[in-house]
Chain A
């Protein structure tokens, strides 16, 4: 029961977090600087999430393999590679290094 309450509570709260800005920000007159800030905020949030998830993956497996895979993924992303390509090539780098470390 507590799991249901937690999941539904976070779901409802998340919906509010999603809906409110869509309804409110659209009616506000923002300065160019505020608009630019909002444009950068999504980028910053995803960058932070990348760092946290990479750190978590490194703790659970091999730090060397994670750093190499994320490095390869960053280079591909900078060249506008598709997500699928980044995951496949980054995953292959990770798998190769994990194998090498294990052997």
Chain B
């Protein structure tokens, strides 16, 4: 910003410059020019934050039934505090549910393994986002990491395609992640309070419906359609495999199905 200002004010060049007005005058003029730019940048930053939150808000609303299901189940397993801590630390509904159920039935070791196998897909989400975040500062990659999950992966991919400014991408992604975290954990808390008064069997349909919206924009490309069809089919066939292993197999085979044929178009 200061560099842009000095280009507008040739401070050190001959008659055209304002150097003859003395140091105080120069600073006054520069600060007058910088102040509105700072204000604009400040407004832009808030606009980015609002845009990021707005991107995530419909997803938070759509996730309400899923979060209620989780809240009801968590109320029966372990208690409110551990449940709420888990929504922020695990930050993944499916893995959270599987972990608490396995902890009650099969013990800690199996529960941890189950949760991590289900969350193994986070490796591919993070690796996918890392391609777009090569030029982002290290602090951002640390700050953004805890928010990486299905909907934020979709938001990150979308921002990479539509938002060329790295700073704006950072603000929007973090705003989206925080919006998801706050909205999701608040709804989980409501589910815990309401408890058994909700029928979780009928709310479970919200999970595949929410996820469908994340893959929808990719379905126009034939290669992506192959990925989705094969991964979904393998996911169904391997649904009874030990927790998470079927998901991994489906992910790998789905990716392989999306490879363009040799010598052909994708």
Contacts and interface: CB of A to CB of B under 8 A. Distances in A.
Interface of A: 2-15, 17-26, 30, 33, 35-57, 60-61, 65-66, 69-70, 73-74, 76-84, 86-87, 90-91, 94-95, 98
B205 A66 contact: yes
A66 B202 CA distance: 10
Given A7-B85, A44-B258, A50-B208, A13 B116 contact: yes
Interface stretch (B5-13, B29-37, B45-53, B230-238): B230-238
Contacts of B129: 22
Contact of B227 (A13, A47, A65, A91): A47
A51 B232 contact: yes
Nearest to A60: B201
A13 B112 contact: yes
B260 to A, nearest CB: 8
Contact of A15 (B146, B211, B246, B247): B146
Contacts of A36: 258-259
B235 A47 contact: yes
A11 to B, nearest CB: 3
B211 A46 contact: yes
A51 B115 contact: no
B1 interface: no
Contacts of B124: 38, 41-42, 44-45
Contacts of A21: 123, 126-127, 130
B190 interface: no
Contacts of B213: 73, 77, 81-83, 86-87
A22 to B, nearest CB: 4
B91 interface: yes
Nearest to A82: B58
Which residue among B122, B150, B157, B209 has the maximum number of chain A CB atoms within 10 Å of its CB?
Answer: B209
Nearest to A56: B204
A21 B112 CA distance: 21
A54 B208 CA distance: 6
Contact of A44 (B107, B145, B205, B250): B250
Contacts of A66: 205, 208
Interface residues of B, number: 99
Given A42-B128, A47-B250, A11 B90 contact: yes
B146 A18 contact: yes
Contacts of A22: 126, 129-130, 133, 141-142, 144-145, 148
Nearest to A24: B130
A42 B204 contact: no
B59 interface: yes
Contacts of A41: 124, 127-128, 251, 255
A13 B122 CA distance: 11
A2 B103 contact: yes
28 contacts: A2-B103, A2-B111, A6-B102, A7-B78, A10-B89, A10-B96, A11-B85, A11-B91, A12-B89, A17-B126, A36-B259, A40-B255, A44-B227, A46-B215, A47-B215, A47-B254, A48-B232, A49-B150, A55-B236, A57-B201, A66-B205, A76-B216, A78-B219, A81-B216, A83-B59, A86-B210, A91-B65, A98-B202
B223 interface: yes
B100 interface: yes
